[in-house]
Amino acid sequence: MQLFETILSQYGPMVSKVCYMYGTDEDQRKDLYQECMANVWQGLRSFRGDSKLSTWLYRACINTCITAYRRNAVRATVPLDSAPPIAADDNSRSDDLKEMYRLISQLSPVERALIMMWLDEKSYDEISDVTGMPRNTVASRLRRIKAKLVDLANN
């Protein structure tokens, strides 16, 4: 019970960010958040501590969101007018962040997961642990995803 409370207080924002990238509106993001937390609650008994708690939690939440994405066959991008406020020093930075989220929302679920972890400054090894992909695969996929984002931005 105490570990779950720690997860809620320390990792709630991370879970919200994962849900934001897969939900198409506020209600769906809230549903995803609840589903993630329910799966985390059920899976806590099986957490052996072989990896960091944050790595295990990322994997659980991404898997939950991808499963829900596939189950609901949602293929829409995230509407910008429903985006939560983004803290920024100025309006241009806020606009840049909104554009980045818009571009990321056009990626496949797995690509979103990879780029989100990279943006969260996770190492290739940590991303490999979360996704189960070999480290070199993570590196090459991220290189392709970055190129894809540049292409999307230029079109």
CATH number assigned to the domain comprising residue 15 = 1.10.1740.10
In the prediction, which pLDDT does 74 show?
46
Per-residue pLDDT of the chain (155 residues; tens, 9 = 90+): 788 888 888 989 989 988 988 888 889 999 999 999 999 999 988 888 888 888 889 889 988 988 888 787 544 445 545 545 544 445 566 777 778 888 998 999 899 989 989 988 889 999 998 888 999 999 999 999 999 999 998 98
Residue 21 structural domain: 1-76
Domain count, the chain: 1
Domain-embedded: residue 48: yes
Domain-embedded: residue 85: no
Rg (CA), the chain: 16
Domain-embedded: residue 7: yes
Read off the pTM: 0.66
Domain-embedded: residue 115: no
Domain-embedded: residue 8: yes
32 neighbors 69 (Cβ within 8 angstroms): no
Domain-embedded: residue 49: yes
Domain-embedded: residue 155: no
Domain-embedded: residue 10: yes
In the prediction, which pLDDT does 141 show?
96
